[in-house]
Structure 1
Amino acid sequence: METTHWIVDKQGITHEHYPQIEEAARLIRKGEVIAFPTETVYGLGGQVQMDKAVQKIFTAKGRPSDNPLIVHIADRKDVDHLAQSVPNYAEALMDSFWPGPLTIIVPKQEGVLSELVTAGLHTVAIRMPDHPVALALIKEAGVPVAAPSANRSGKPSPTTAAHVLDDLSGRIAGVLDGGDTGVGLESTVVDCTGPHPIILRPGGITQTDMEAVVGKVKIGGALQNEKDVPKSPGMKYTHYAPEAPLYLIEGTHSFIQEQIDELRAEGKKVGVMATEESEHFYVADRIISCGRRHDIESVAKHLYGALRSFNVSSLDVILAETFPSEGVGVAIMNRLEKAAGHRWIKEVD
């Protein structure tokens, strides 16, 4: 399959972009899948009512079909069509954070969506992206669009069209290239089926942000059993990993350098993911900055790009600095722990 690459200007959708968006929307209506930018990462979209379209998403990604997909909309009225009921606190969250990087899970309307979208669950995950290209595409398609991140399963999520093409060229119909994404991490996913919202996947909208709007917000997300069907993407499998094994490392700069030296003495090529403030402390085979420690949003934005950058080097192991689990740092550490398969190296006091 030839993958078409359309370039559009995310700063403003004008009449000159409509042929590309119209063509991409036509392909979605036809049952093909299209990658497109959002404010978080690039998504891989297919129309929500067609089993064959949704199956193409799973096939392109190489992703198990027991993971539900997020339904992307461009009009708030679509929630009434997709959801059986929406609690008042979910309405308040939508009022405050849509369009934006927040996904709500609510009871679904039966018979509206392909069962593959919801993995057979009685709930649906919905969000309205804050990106002009995404919104224009969904509006032009005339249907909500199911869209996980546009990468091969297990790899770091794509924050540029080049990342998408690296993973999926020849596997999907096209890519709408709107440049780099903004937030850099996938949306916060919130279960809104109970008396209080429960965060299943942390993201750019934090627990503190939501509690300022609706009061108590719980933290959840862990599956109790490996056979359980996850309610949210990102709950079950190892994700976001570069090709070389990744370890999270916590300690002083001298401790981290000692670990690098020991690994190199064993004949291993070592990569280090650090910040702009600390990268000069280390000597290794490859050092990549993921942003500024004192600007945690910059780390979120550049995290996946940094993880992907290690793949151009023949490394045996990667050591990644860690971050405080507060604010957006919760989402960053969630992704890093999954990328590392929960492997840690810690300095003992």
Structure 2
Amino acid sequence: MQTKVFKPDQLVAAAAELAAGELVAFPTETVYGLGADATNETAVKKVFQAKGRPSDNPLIVHVADVATVKKYVADFPTTAEKLTQAFWPGSLTIILPLQPNAFSKTVTGGLNTAAFRNPRNQVTLDLIKQLGRPIVGPSANTSGKPSPTLAEHVLHDLAGKIAGVVDDGPTGVGLESTVIDLSTATPTILRPGAVTKEDIEAVIGSIDADHHKVKADEVPKAPGMKYKHYAPNAQVYMTAATDFKAAAAWAREQGEPFGLLATDQVLAEFSALAPAYRFSLGDSIVTASQHLFDGLRHYDQLPEVKLILAEEFPAQGLGVAYMNRLAKSAGQQRFTKSEH
């Protein structure tokens, strides 16, 4: 299959592919998603095949408006009304109980709930409206690999496996959406993102946060809950900014090229290292979140790199989401002076 690259003014053609049961990747403000008509089970099954994704992993349903969600759910509580008013379109995914047979089990992972999102990207909102039906949209990458923040990332993983990708340039946030479960007694964040726990509590009051690691035999209620995820080929080590000199010395002792993924302030101390082995996360948690996945993918293009030292940030605000993704990409591995 030849994978077409659609420009934002070619949405009629992109929607036609979706209507025909094909897969088209689409841009959002977080990462690129892999789109299929959510009401076409045959098309949805192709998503799992293209990604190599476990079939028990539920898919997020992307909608153009709140009214579409209400067609499918058994209940749309006051908390959902408040959250959609505050954060949609935006980086918040909401899990709600479904009406019987609203979607196929392929979409829901066999659960009686579904996750809905209204993305903050006008091109994709127009694509969904053009199709006239909601679209599923897991990240448009090979399962377990870093999520795509550029159309080029999508093509690297999925060229020849999908009908097309709508190229709208780099994504803005760079980390997948926050997922909140409203089907439980207490609203619970299952995956942190740019919409923080504090943001949500300011709207609906106290909530829980459940970042537990899903066991091999457990069905995750939201994407990205598996133990190791977002992983490049090289082994990533979470590294404190103050430990980079010691970590680099240890990495050199391993005798193989290594890469740095850090802020400009940290990288300034390593000007002697080849530029290809120094990937900038910018100068803040905002830019670090935007560039984390891009940096991990950069080192996948350098097969000689076996170790990546990636900078940690405080787990507060957006840093909670950043550290959640970094820890999973590292398989929880951290450089510590005492152990290395």
TM-score normalized by the length of structure 2: 0.95
1:244-301 Cα offsets, whole Å, 9 max, x none, are 111112362xx42233223323312111111012111235451111121xx3111111
Other-structure match for 2:24: 34
Question: What secondary structure sits across from 1:216 in the alignment?
Answer: coil
Once superposed, what is the RMSD of the aligned Cα atoms? 1.5
Distance 1:37 1:220, change over 3 A: same
Other-structure match for 1:299: 288
Other-structure match for 1:187: 177
Q: Which amino acid aligns with 2:83?
A: L
Other-structure match for 1:260: 248
Structure 1 position 309 matched with structure 2 position 298:
yes
Other-structure match for 1:340: 330
Q: How does 1:203-282 map to 2 (within 5 A)?
A: 203-223=193-213, 225-250=215-240, 252=242, 255-282=243-270
CA contact (8 A) 1:203 1:328 kept: yes
In structure 1, C-alpha distance between the alignment counterparts of 2:288 and 2:72, rounded to whole Å = 35
Distance 1:310 1:115, change over 3 A: same
Q: How does 1:78-89 map to 2 (within 5 A)?
A: 78-89=68-79
CA contact (8 A) 1:250 1:347 kept: no
Residue 128 of structure 1: CA displacement?
0.4
Q: Which amino acid aligns with 1:4?
A: K
Question: What secondary structure sits across from 2:66 in the alignment?
Answer: coil
Other-structure match for 2:278: 287
Distance 1:260 1:223, change over 3 A: closer
Residue 58 of structure 1: CA displacement?
0.6
CA contact (8 A) 2:63 2:118 kept: yes
In structure 2, C-alpha distance between the alignment counterparts of 1:310 and 1:338, rounded to whole Å = 17
Other-structure match for 1:71: 61
Q: Which amino acid aligns with 2:91?
A: P
Structure 1 unaligned segments of length 5 or more: list them.
9-16
Other-structure match for 1:7: 7
Question: What secondary structure sits across from 1:346 in the alignment?
Answer: coil
Percent of pairs identical after alignment?
A: 47
In structure 1, C-alpha distance between the alignment counterparts of 2:11 and 2:131, rounded to whole Å = 9
Structure 1 position 169 matched with structure 2 position 148:
no
In structure 1, C-alpha distance between the alignment counterparts of 2:308 and 2:212, rounded to whole Å = 26
Other-structure match for 1:12: none
In structure 2, C-alpha distance between the alignment counterparts of 1:4 and 1:24, rounded to whole Å = 9
How many correspondences in the alignment?
335
CA contact (8 A) 2:214 2:227 kept: no
Other-structure match for 2:103: 113
